[in-house]
Amino acid sequence: MKKYTLTSIDHFTRYVLGDTAGFNWLMNNGCKEFIATLDAVRDDKKAFQYLIANKHVILAAFVNAVWDDEKAFQFLMKAKAFEWAAVANIINGDDKAEEFLKKIKKENYVLLAHAIQSRIHQDGDYNVSPIGALKNMLNFKKAFKKE
């Protein structure tokens, strides 16, 4: 399991919040898997496959745990990836997970959890906006278009 520095977590958080400098830092410092992780959380299947193909199984399990996959959460616990399990739980509304991370002095992960949660809500708001709804309708029709 790859260990990430708190600096890399900070840059991941900055990237999630839309900071270009965070993106550049991740690209230049061997943390492209974080970019794929956010994309996978946002339901990009190719990004999820990237995580699997490049053996970032902890991050792939984290993505699934964000979407309430109990087996993925248990995998994180067995792999002792407690920070990632806690981040997923914070995103899913578990206040005790936030307390746990603060207790072990990993506030950076708390900030990351809230950033990802915010991004998920932002994506949800976009999908129900008039423009987002129209885009989804067009994609839906395209999916069932006969060739």
Structure tokens at 47: 């990004």
Position 138 scores a pLDDT of: 53
Q: What is the pLDDT of residues 98-141, one digit of tens each?
A: 999 999 999 999 999 999 999 998 887 544 444 544 454 454 44
At 28, list the tokens: 């230049």
Q: What is the pLDDT of residues 20-31, one digit of tens each?
A: 999 999 999 999
Q: Are 101 and 86 in contact (CB under 8 A)?
A: yes
**How remote is the C-alpha of 139 from its chain's centroid?**
23
Residue pLDDT, tens place only, 27-61: 999 999 999 999 999 999 999 999 999 999 999 99
Phi, psi of 5, rounded to the nearest 5 degrees:
-75, 160
